[in-house]
Amino acid sequence: MISVDEARVRVLDTLRPTPAEIVALADAWNRVTAEAVTARLTQPPADISAMDGYALRAADGALNAVLTVIGSAPAGHPFGFAVGPGQAVRLFTGSVIPAGADAILLQEDATRDGDTVRINEAVDKGRHVRRKGQDFAAGDIVLPAGRRMTARDVGLAAAANHPWLTVHRRPRVAILATGDEIAMPGEPIPPGGIVSSNSHALAALVRAGGGDPAILPVAKDDRSAIGAVADSVQGMDLLVTTGGASVGDHDLVIEALKARGMTLDFWQIAMRPGKPLLFGQLGTTPVLGLPGNPVSAMVCAILFLLPALARLSGLPAAPPPVSAAILGAPLKQNDRRADHLRASVATDSSGRAVATPFPSQDSAMLRRLALADALIVRPPNAPALAPGAEVGIIRLDSLGL
């Protein structure tokens, strides 16, 4: 058996980011930059006012001085002339500060009377001025390559004057569920059969990870039917299969895909739920084989498929983020398989996360899985723990998983 970490490294090491494509900025949210984003202009483009008020020479800005207002410069309408001694120009937030002026009199510190303005609070030179280039200068890298674009990043790219961005193509992931006993939701269920939940759950996880899923038709336990699938995944960045990975009598998927030229690694992974994991290569398409059990499939997808999606998307190879939590119930010593306990998470009075494992960890309980806020990660051979001990958790609640 190999460890979860070793299996993940082996998978991620073989994956390459998808090629770049150009998208409109409006479509760039949640996409991963394939090139650094360089500012195409300087922001602010000139010294501008941070407040509504008046531009003047600091030398004229003494308390009770009275200046002549020679004009107004709304944002977007720069004043065309210089401000001379004893003069002021009406400004607004974002207005370019006219030549000659080097101080701002706040509107609330001014008394306007026709063409004059009285200073009720002495001005400070440079105060309330936003300097040219204070946010960024033309040529600055404002966003690195390999970054998943947040809403704020999109705003920054807009401010840097990028109508288009170069991003990695969304990974295309084909999902294949197999088995005589399964039917898609709403379709006739064979005797003793069940409705396939894996395909839809994994497709949704692919979306949560920023990929484009394609749900393939359920393949019956028939070699030629499964083999035909092999021809349909050309151009896919990843084929994910579920089931057919046991050491039992029914590994037709492997046989069928091998007959089509798939090279295959088959690993026993020291983990629970889940254990066998397939990883192979079918032509140019990597193949990740997850367990058929729905809970095991989702846990393995969180541990392996989600990092694979990130890597294919152009992000660094990395495990899912593990954060610290306080244990809410005792845990027995763990055996040699890493465990991933479905747990609820509450917040205690000091704001710490408290993770409490569900009493039943039966891997057939989809409803329980859906209710979980997190997986408690138990390393192999972890000692028994009392409530209050610290554990590592993978949070599920905010990731759309």
Measured between alpha carbons, how far is 203 from 376 in angstroms, rounded to an integer?
24
44's tokens: 């602010």
232's tokens: 């349909």
- Reduced to 3 states (helix: H, G, I; strand: E, B; else coil), residue 54 is strand
205 binds a copy of itself per the rule CB under 8 A: yes
Task: Please identify, using beta-carbon distances, which residue of 148 and 260 lies nearer to a copy of itself.
Answer: 148
Q: The tokens 């394609």 sit on which residue?
A: 214
Q: CA–CA distance from 85 to each of 78, 101, 117, 122 (Å)? A: 19, 9, 14, 16
Among 188, 249, 316, 336, binds a copy of itself (CB under 8 A): 249
Among 59, 63, 66, 194, binds a copy of itself (CB under 8 A): 194
Among 188, 191, 316, 359, binds a copy of itself (CB under 8 A): 191
55 binds a copy of itself per the rule CB under 8 A: no
Report, in Å, the least distance between residue 284 CB and a copy of itself.
26
Helices (H), 23-144: none
Task: Please identify, using beta-carbon distances, which residue of 213 and 262 lies nearer to a copy of itself.
Answer: 213
Measured between alpha carbons, how far is 73 from 300 in angstroms, rounded to an integer?
61
Element (H, E) at 12: helix 4-14
Q: The tokens 């900025």 sit on which residue?
A: 25
Closest C-alpha to 161, from 35, 46, 45: 45
Cis omega (within 30 of 0) on the bond before 78? no
Give the torsion through C-alpha atoms of 384, 388, 392, 394, to 10 deg. 120
Task: Please identify, using beta-carbon distances, which residue of 94 and 283 lies nearer to a copy of itself.
Answer: 94
386 binds a copy of itself per the rule CB under 8 A: no
Binding mask 106-145 toward a copy of itself (x if CB under 8 A, else -) reads -x----------------------x---xxx-----xx--
174 binds a copy of itself per the rule CB under 8 A: no
CA atoms within 13 A on the CB side of 209: 28
Residues 313-332 that bind a copy of itself (CB under 8 A): 323-325
Q: Determine the interface stretch with a copy of itself among 8-16, 260-268, 330-338, 362-370 (rule: CB under 8 A).
A: 362-370
Task: Please identify, using beta-carbon distances, which residue of 60 and 90 lies nearer to a copy of itself.
Answer: 90
- Reduced to 3 states (helix: H, G, I; strand: E, B; else coil), residue 366 is helix
321's tokens: 């983020």
Task: Please identify, using beta-carbon distances, which residue of 159 and 317 lies nearer to a copy of itself.
Answer: 159
Full DSSP string of 299-310:
HHIIIIIHHHHH
387 binds a copy of itself per the rule CB under 8 A: no
Q: Determine the interface stretch with a copy of itself among 114-122, 224-232, 255-263, 346-354 (rule: CB under 8 A).
A: 346-354
Residues 251-290 that bind a copy of itself (CB under 8 A): none
Among 34, 67, 104, 182, binds a copy of itself (CB under 8 A): 182
Task: Please identify, using beta-carbon distances, which residue of 282 and 295 lies nearer to a copy of itself.
Answer: 295
246 binds a copy of itself per the rule CB under 8 A: yes
Report, in Å, the least distance between residue 161 CB and a copy of itself.
5
Report, in Å, the least distance between residue 303 CB and a copy of itself.
14
Q: The tokens 């494509």 sit on which residue?
A: 21
202 binds a copy of itself per the rule CB under 8 A: yes
